[in-house]
Structure 1
């Protein structure tokens, strides 16, 4: 019995579901209004509002603890806000059942863990579970194959997920999200465990999904990746959105230096014009010169030998 079949049998009885229609380019797919989230007695998000549109990549950036992952979880309706509202597909997120949400948004968490040693292909196929019993169930094999090809994991399709490296697991987890084929992708630090080649691969996949009409929200720490691949960026700081807009407008040296508490320089790439963000560093380290040795006094001693 495959993992996908097992999941379908374990899932509770589904009521009739309305399948989502593709969003028009630029259409608002998800929206947060006046969002406040408190965790451990601290306001992690306070009065946040943001919209996510079809056909764009929105990058959430900011220092550690700024609220990026919390905002992503709230947009996914995985975390209930203490105030404000999240809307997905034009309806309050709480109005959708879990199964209906799974047809409309796919979520990639920071860490991917499985208890059972499922083969890679079966892990990717788990992304198709929400479509079981619908007219789009026939797309399962094609969706799984396309997702594995896009993330370059076909070579180890039969290996146990638990035997993979951290970077390989990250790509398999992304393949599962892609196989789900929803109009809204919410990705939390998908490049964190990846080498240079696969970081670029993942962000190219994000761009391709946006070009195909999906809305993509991605949490990134690398400002260079955000500048090169995102249509819009939102800079979070202290639970609020400090600035939002195209990277060319938002990546300002003064704003970033203040938000990150690290002086930076921002200048355009000489070929593409994409903003480059570089920390201000001291000049080359030079070893201080040794103090001169005292000259030897060869004069006769006044105290005798």
Structure 2
């Protein structure tokens, strides 16, 4: 397996996925509980992922965001409850079939061998080999390189790139896979301001084209500006979910993050702007509320 893309035998016998109409359910978690070792990381999570939407998962460190993303990908078996992808339990899909329906961007895109960037991106096309959509390989790779602004170093070895460049190449691999469900874990973490906006703009474009996009974000401002819906995780549960303007309130965020927060509308767009409430007297820091 390379960058999350395994080799798949018997591809020609697989049924190709059907498009999901806008607003239709692409994936869902129902009563989901996930335990890692003896610790329950997610407990009683219900969440629906819809075609044509960007869904942002936000919350403090340890809230269960990455675990929920992995469960939605079918990469983590739940201790209770169920994840369904395209109407079937995630565990009922063979790996080859699942790779046609969802693409996953992990936090760390590790690759030991010095493959050229273009070859790394082309790995995203592996699930379609032997199908009628194999003919899209060249166009899909070229489009993904252009969207992520990585075409200029397509011939460079992947390990020679900067952290931000590697992050964009890893995203290009996911985009080249051309699935109806994109699951992205902190795709903006290593990026500068321009490329944060570029990446989330690409997410919006994919959603507008009919895909379902789930993205883990730490920057609440980015979530407010680019997501159709936001799910706030706290203590392994969904504390709130809905449109950013309805969910990203100062009281909830202050409690969840244990940090006083101010939320106010952007003067031009009306999008919620989220900032920590900074004390003008640094010698008297604000009291942090309990969990």
TM-score normalised by the chain length of structure 2: 0.94
SS of aligned partner of 2:166: helix
Matched, 1:199 2:206: no
Matched, 1:71 2:68: yes
SS of aligned partner of 1:167: helix
Report what 1:45 is aligned to.
42
Structure ID, larger Rg: 1
Alignment of 1:105-120 (within 5 A): 105-120=102-117
Q: CA deviation at 1:16?
A: 1.1
Q: Which runs of 5+ in 1 are unaligned?
A: 287-305
Report what 1:137 is aligned to.
134
Report what 2:286 is aligned to.
none
Which deviations, in whole Å up to 9, do the C-alpha atoms of 1:45-93 show, x marking residues without a partner? 0000100000000000000000000000000000111100000011111
2-side partners of 1:240 and 1:129: how far apart? 35
Matched, 1:34 2:31: yes
SS of aligned partner of 1:198: helix
Which deviations, in whole Å up to 9, do the C-alpha atoms of 1:101-147 show, x marking residues without a partner? 00000000000011211000000000000000000000000000000
Which deviations, in whole Å up to 9, do the C-alpha atoms of 1:149-196 show, x marking residues without a partner? 000000100000010000000000000000000000000000000000
Q: Where has structure 1 moved over 3 Å in runs of 4 or more?
A: 10-15
Matched, 1:154 2:151: yes
Q: Given that residues 114 and 159 in structure 2 are in contact (C-alpha distance below 8 angstroms), is that contact kept between their aligned partners in structure 1? A: yes
Q: Given that residues 11 and 130 in structure 2 are in contact (C-alpha distance below 8 angstroms), is that contact kept between their aligned partners in structure 1? A: no
2-side partners of 1:44 and 1:123: how far apart? 32
Report what 2:275 is aligned to.
278
Q: CA deviation at 1:15?
A: 6.5
* CA 1:261–1:137: 2 relative to 1, 3 Å: same
Q: CA deviation at 1:282?
A: 1.4
* CA 1:15–1:135: 2 relative to 1, 3 Å: closer
Report what 2:261 is aligned to.
264
Report what 1:217 is aligned to.
214
SS of aligned partner of 1:23: coil
Report what 2:205 is aligned to.
208
1-side partners of 2:219 and 2:17: how far apart? 33
SS of aligned partner of 2:13: coil
2-side partners of 1:131 and 1:202: how far apart? 24
1-side partners of 2:66 and 2:12: how far apart? 31
Report what 1:60 is aligned to.
57
Report what 2:289 is aligned to.
none
Report what 1:255 is aligned to.
252
1-side partners of 2:178 and 2:252: how far apart? 36
Report what 1:168 is aligned to.
165
2-side partners of 1:210 and 1:158: how far apart? 30
Moved more, 219-228 or 17-26: 17-26
1-side partners of 2:205 and 2:8: how far apart? 32
**Alignment match of 1:239 (pick from 236, 241, 247):** 236
Q: Given that residues 12 and 130 in structure 2 are in contact (C-alpha distance below 8 angstroms), is that contact kept between their aligned partners in structure 1? A: no
Q: CA deviation at 1:13?
A: 3.9
Q: Given that residues 11 and 131 in structure 2 are in contact (C-alpha distance below 8 angstroms), is that contact kept between their aligned partners in structure 1? A: no
* CA 1:138–1:15: 2 relative to 1, 3 Å: closer
Matched, 1:90 2:84: no
Q: Given that residues 145 and 169 in structure 2 are in contact (C-alpha distance below 8 angstroms), is that contact kept between their aligned partners in structure 1? A: yes
TM-score normalised by the chain length of structure 1: 0.90
